[in-house]
Amino acid sequence: SQTIHQWPATLVQPVGSPLSLECTVEGTSNPNLYWYRQAAGRGLQLLFYSVGIGQISSEVPQNLSASRPQDRQFILSSKKLLLSDSGFYLCAWSVLRGARGLGQYFGPGTRLTVL
């Protein structure tokens, strides 16, 4: 069965510090991978998605970047965090059959607080 891991689970960082959040998927090959952010009381906002190694698409301009160095590894980074980067970050994976998604499966999330 497939599992998705995220770490760390929680993180408190000062403004201006760098960020690296990691997501790994087990039990599947060539998944589509996604990074979402969920602000308190808000819906999920897609930040990045990747359909393959080294292929990153950004949905919104922001202070963050993403990389996919391996098939099942997805990393979210920032060189200098802003207060507005605080939120709950979720990684997800999906497999498509043709153009139709068979579902997206979410990781446990990382709670980031920027002070």
Give the binding site for another protein (CB under 8 A): 6, 32, 42-44, 46, 49, 51, 88, 90, 92, 94, 96, 99-109, 111
- Return the number of the residue (23 or 81) whose C-beta is nearest another protein: 23
The owner of tokens 């393959």 is 52
Determine contact, residues 21/9, Cβ cutoff 8 Å. no
- Least distance to another protein from the beta carbon of 16, Å? 26
Radius of gyration of the chain (CA): 14
Judged by beta carbon, residue 64 or residue 91, the one nearer another protein is: 91
Q: For residues 44 and 106, what is the distance between their CA atoms, to the nearest angstrom?
A: 11
CB of 110 to another protein, least distance (A): 10
Q: Token pair for residue 58? A: 């950004």
